[in-house]
Structure 1
Amino acid sequence: MLKLTLEYIPTKADVSFLMIKQTEVNTHPEYLYFFYTHVYSSIFVLLSGFISVFVKPNRYFKNLHRFFGKIYVILLLLLAAPSGIYMGFYANGGFLAKISFLILGIFWWLTTYKAYLEIKKKNFENHKKWMYRSFALAVSAITLRVWKVVLVYFFHPNPMDVYEIIAWLGWVPNIILTEILIRKKII
């Protein structure tokens, strides 16, 4: 993901993924701002999310967990999710892909906000569950790309059909698996 993010430094409108988004770039001047906000904030959301999820808040790492948790929540609620929701309106793959990305962005924001509310109430167990849900949605950026490689390698579908499929495969299996793990008390 870092490698993908670095492709967009310095900011240009004609590189990588943006090559197929030229209609949006040319007709909606704000699109690039939302795109770059999403790309640049999401890499830090993923990094801080990995650290927050895998560094348990015990007496040794409590402050580290809290620090990266705050970065995750602030960047996600204020930048990454809202810009992702905006981009969902312009997603490739047609109506179904747009609906998927909009639902993903809204759920991502809501699960994170719920986790934030739970930690403010010092309900650590519910906070943990909501953060797992939020992070499952955050890593959809990774699983989406894995599914894209798998689908293209094995099935060679039309490029826009790929977006319609991976829009759902990127996050739905993640959240289902997370719910199963939470309910079975594995995580």
Structure 2
Amino acid sequence: MAQITFHYLPLRKNAAFLQIKQTEVSEIPFYIFLFYLHVYSAIFVLFTGFTQFNSVILKKQPIIHRNIGKLYVFTVLFLSAPSGFFIGIFANGGFYSQISFVSLSLLWFYFTLKGFLAIKSKNIVLHKTFMLRSFALTFSAVTLRLWKVVLVYLFQPSPMDLYQIIAWLGWIPNLLIIEYYIYNKSKK
């Protein structure tokens, strides 16, 4: 993910994926700004999210967990999810892809907010379940790209068909896996 993100340095209007988004770049105010805001804030939450489930940090350095968690929550709620919502409206693949990415950003915002509010209410169990859901959606940046490689290798679909499929496969399986994990943990 870092390597993909570095394709966008230096900031250009035609870097990498933006080469096929030139209509949006030239015709939609703030598209390029919100695109870059999403790219760089999302890579930040991806990396910070990994630290949040580290048992050593949780037990021995709770202040680090708390502070990184606050950065994660702030970044998702005020940068990553809102910018993802905006660029999701203009997603490749048409209506079905747009619905997927907009839904993803709304759920990402909601789960993160619920996790934050749960810890403010000192409900650690609810906090953990919602933050697991939030990070499952954060991790969709990775799984979307993995599915893309697998589907292209196996089926060579047309680019727009591929985009419509990975728009959903990038996050639905992640959420199902996390729900299964949460369900099994609750049974113990």
Using the size of structure 1 for normalisation, the TM-score is 0.96
Could you tell me which residue of structure 2 aligns to residue 109 of structure 1? Answer: 109
Q: Unpaired runs of 5+ in structure 2? A: none
- Deviation of 1:105 after TM superposition, in Å, equals 0.3
Deviation sequence 1:88-142 (CA, Å, 0-9, x none):
1000011101000000000000000000000000101100000000000000000
Look up the SS of the partner of 1:8 in the other structure.
Answer: coil
**1:1-187 correspondence to structure 2 within 5 Å:** 1-55=1-55, 58-185=58-185
- Matching residue's letter, 1:141: A
- Matching residue's letter, 1:148: K
- Deviation of 1:54 after TM superposition, in Å, equals 2.5
Look up the SS of the partner of 2:10 in the other structure.
Answer: coil
Q: Is the 8 A contact 2:51 2:57 kept in 1?
A: no
Give me the CA root mean square deviation: 1.3
Deviation sequence 1:62-111 (CA, Å, 0-9, x none):
11111211111011100000000001100001110100000000000000
Identity of aligned pairs, percent?
Answer: 50
Runs ≥4 in structure 1, deviation > 3 angstroms?
55-59
CA distance in 2, matches of 1:83, 1:182: 28
- Deviation of 1:56 after TM superposition, in Å, equals 5.3
Task: Give the 3 Å change call, closer, same or farther, for CA 35–57 of structure 1 in structure 2.
Answer: same
Q: Is the 8 A contact 2:52 2:58 kept in 1?
A: no
Look up the SS of the partner of 1:92 in the other structure.
Answer: coil
- Deviation of 1:4 after TM superposition, in Å, equals 1.0
Q: Is the 8 A contact 1:108 1:138 kept in 2?
A: yes
CA distance in 2, matches of 1:144, 1:17: 14
Q: Is the 8 A contact 2:51 2:65 kept in 1?
A: yes
CA distance in 1, matches of 2:45, 2:21: 24
- Deviation of 1:58 after TM superposition, in Å, equals 3.9
Q: Is the 8 A contact 1:55 1:61 kept in 2?
A: no
> Which piece of structure 1 moves more, 77-86 or 20-29?
20-29
Look up the SS of the partner of 1:44 in the other structure.
Answer: helix
- Matching residue's letter, 2:68: F
CA distance in 2, matches of 1:56, 1:94: 44
CA distance in 2, matches of 1:7, 1:68: 26
Look up the SS of the partner of 1:184 in the other structure.
Answer: helix
CA distance in 1, matches of 2:153, 2:67: 40
Q: Is the 8 A contact 2:5 2:40 kept in 1?
A: yes
CA distance in 1, matches of 2:72, 2:128: 14
- Deviation of 1:26 after TM superposition, in Å, equals 1.1
The number of residue pairs the alignment matches comes to 187
